[in-house]
Amino acid sequence: MDFKLTDEQVARRNEFFEVCGELEKKKPANFSGIESIYDSDEGWQYHLNCAKEFAKRGWIALGWPSEYGGQGSVMDRVFFAEARGYYDTPGVDIFGVAMLAPTLLGAGSEEMKREFLPKIAAAEIMFCELWSEPNAGSDLAALTTTALRDGDEYVLNGQKTWSTGAHRSDWAFALVRTDPHAETKHRGLTFLMFDMKTPGITVKPILYMDRGHLYNEVFFDDARVPVKYVVGEENKGWGVTQLLAGFERSSLDAIMMMRRQLEGLVEYCNETKVGGELLAKNPIIRNRIAELACQVEAARALAYRVADQQAKNEMGAIDASAVKVFAGDLSARLARLGADILGPYGQVRSSKWAPLEGFYEKQYQQYFILTVSMGTNEIQRNIIAWYGLGLPRMR
Ligand SMILES: Cc1cc2nc3c(=O)[nH]c(=O)nc-3n(C[C@H](O)[C@H](O)[C@H](O)COP(=O)(O)OP(=O)(O)OC[C@H]3O[C@@H](n4cnc5c(N)ncnc54)[C@H](O)[C@@H]3O)c2cc1C
């Protein structure tokens, strides 16, 4: 791919950065990304306000075909993600916009595209992802939540877990077992959407170690949902899931967030003296920062490559997995570097005494998230080894 941006692309990219920079000024105190969106009413309201602003500009539907309200190109979507990541601006429902919408465009019926894409583009409807279960995470096809057909409805029974934001979401997309007698566990699964207010669905919080509420368990007790909201075909949900996973793993905003964090660390080292000497003059710190700066740029280039492939409808599962592994490991290295540089100050919670707004106190506890969610890094490495490099498959 050609990495040089056209003048038009540079102007467009600047526009995204300007608007997100303005929205950043309206951020509630102590706002910090996805956690604040789901955990606090104030954060959720800020998320909705940003979403309305983006929807008004048509930016939620960047790169979609114009018949579904889309505008701009896939590369615009990339620049927009970079800007949001850099300023840690919410306003884009990662599940509805970044995952479900491209999946519907690829595998949804015309009726479903016409019903849901405009609502997603207008930020009228927010989604959660109900895949994982207590005994089905990496081995997702082992899931046991059943959806048995009864006329025009499925009757759902079972349990999902780690459901991010399920307590705030209007709708869900889920993977469920519609044929318990299928020959292999990957068959007999269906990708289904439904309203989270459906009677028989109960959402219970799983509190984070700092008591934050992002994750949930979701229980189904004879919940009846319409058959018409199957994406793709009944019993062929595994393929749809794989399509969605590629979109899920290729996001650029996390990488741009790291770039901003690295800038913050550089600033801190340039201003802070330890033992009478600026941290920025310490050769070990300089070395580690420089090394991470190279890795952030490499991650960005990888993510650009995946976006370019998406634009050409040539996205391979391996490339999205490579971005995911690299970005996940990078977030861990960055958190460790921040904690090392800040020393004891890295343990100060967000307050007026906390350097860098207490970011690393949280980040050090949470850096593993990117290495587990969206399919663990071990599993991504298995995909790369088996699928990408032709090494024997390990079970
Ligand atoms: C912050 C967060 C948010 C999440 N949000 C959602 C969500 O919104 N919706 C949703 O459906 N799920 C969500 N998940 C669940 C996530 O997808 C699973 O945690 C993940 O797939 C791993 O499954 P598991 O936790 O059951 O671990 P397991 O599958 O039990 O794995 C445990 C360990 O064994 C390793 N392992 C397992 N199998 C292999 C193998 N074959 N080869 C090598 N190593 C292996 C894993 O890499 C891991 O280190 C979220 C998870 C986290 C941490």
- State pLDDT tens for residues 23-72: 999 999 878 778 889 999 999 999 999 999 999 999 999 989 999 989 98
Q: Are 131 and 176 in contact (CB under 8 A)?
A: no
Residue 395 has pLDDT above 90, yes or no: no
Q: Same domain, yes or no, for 207 and 181?
A: yes
Q: Same domain, yes or no, for 216 and 253?
A: no
Residue nearest to atom 43 of ligand 1 (CA): 378
Q: Same domain, yes or no, for 378 and 289?
A: yes
Cα(17) to centroid of ligand 1, in Å?
Answer: 33
pLDDT digits (tens, 9 = 90+) for 244-303: 887 766 667 788 889 889 999 999 999 999 999 999 999 999 999 999 999 999 998 888
Which atom of ligand 1 lies nearest, measured to the CA of 375? 21
Residue nearest to atom 51 of ligand 1 (CA): 373
Decide if 393 is inside a domain. Answer: no
Q: Same domain, yes or no, for 264 and 187?
A: no
- Say how far apart CA 276 and CA 278 lie, in whole Å: 7
* Structure tokens belonging to residue 360: 């690393």
Please tell me the predicted confidence (pLDDT) of residue 393: 84
Q: Which position among 248, 263, 277, 378 bears the catalytic label?
A: 248
> Is residue 210 helix, strand or coil?
coil
Please tell me the predicted confidence (pLDDT) of residue 245: 83
pLDDT digits (tens, 9 = 90+) for 193-235: 999 999 999 999 999 877 789 999 999 999 999 999 999 999 9
Decide if 1 is inside a domain. Answer: no
Residue 348's pLDDT band, with cuts at 50, 70 and 90, is confident
Mutation to probe ligand 1, out of 37, 94, 132 (largest number of atoms < 8 A from CB): 132
The residue out of 205, 235, 265 marking a domain boundary is 235
Please tell me the predicted confidence (pLDDT) of residue 365: 85
Mean pLDDT lowest among 6-10, 78-82, 190-194, 357-361? 357-361
Cα(114) to centroid of ligand 1, in Å?
Answer: 33
- Mean predicted confidence (pLDDT) in 128-152: 97
Please tell me the predicted confidence (pLDDT) of residue 249: 65
Q: Same domain, yes or no, for 253 and 225?
A: no
- Ligand 1 pocket at CB < 6 A: 129-132, 137-138, 162-164, 215, 369, 372-373, 375-376, 378-379, 382
- Say how far apart CA 315 and CA 311 lie, in whole Å: 8
Please tell me the predicted confidence (pLDDT) of residue 350: 77
Residue nearest to atom 50 of ligand 1 (CA): 373
Annotated catalytic residue 248: yes
Please tell me the predicted confidence (pLDDT) of residue 127: 98
Decide if 121 is inside a domain. Answer: no
Please tell me the predicted confidence (pLDDT) of residue 8: 93
Closest by Cα among 103, 394, 135 to 250: 103
Q: Same domain, yes or no, for 200 and 136?
A: yes
- Say how far apart CA 3 and CA 141 lie, in whole Å: 38
Q: Same domain, yes or no, for 282 and 349?
A: yes
The residue out of 187, 207, 235 marking a domain boundary is 235
Decide if 117 is inside a domain. Answer: no
Cα(57) to centroid of ligand 1, in Å?
Answer: 36
* Structure tokens belonging to residue 337: 């570097």
Q: What CATH number did the domain enclosing 374 receive?
A: 1.20.140.10
Decide if 122 is inside a domain. Answer: no
Q: What is the mean pLDDT of the chain?
A: 92
Decide if 114 is inside a domain. Answer: no
Mutation to probe ligand 1, out of 173, 218, 324, 372 (largest number of atoms < 8 A from CB): 372
Structurally, how many domains does the chain consist of? 3
Cα(359) to centroid of ligand 1, in Å?
Answer: 25
Cα(15) to centroid of ligand 1, in Å?
Answer: 37
Q: Same domain, yes or no, for 262 and 228?
A: no
Q: What amino acid occupies position 322?
A: A
Decide if 242 is inside a domain. Answer: no
Q: Same domain, yes or no, for 256 and 362?
A: yes
Reported as half-sphere exposure (CB side, CA atoms, 13 A), residue 392 has a value of 2
Q: Same domain, yes or no, for 270 and 368?
A: yes
- Mean predicted confidence (pLDDT) in 175-196: 96
Q: Same domain, yes or no, for 260 and 370?
A: yes
Decide if 394 is inside a domain. Answer: no
Please tell me the predicted confidence (pLDDT) of residue 374: 84
Residue 161 has pLDDT above 80, yes or no: yes
Domain residues for 39?
A: 7-92
Which atom of ligand 1 lies nearest, measured to the CA of 138? 29
Residue 317 has pLDDT above 70, yes or no: no
311 versus 377: the higher-pLDDT residue is 377
- Say how far apart CA 68 and CA 15 lie, in whole Å: 23
Q: What CATH number did the domain enclosing 17 receive?
A: 1.10.540
Instruction: Write down the H helix ranges in 312-376.
Output: 317-342, 359-366, 369-372
Q: Same domain, yes or no, for 371 and 275?
A: yes
Please tell me the predicted confidence (pLDDT) of residue 119: 96
Closest by Cα among 173, 174, 172, 180 to 144: 180
Which atom of ligand 1 lies nearest, measured to the CA of 135? 26
Q: Is the pTM of this model over 0.75?
A: yes
- Mean predicted confidence (pLDDT) in 304-322: 80
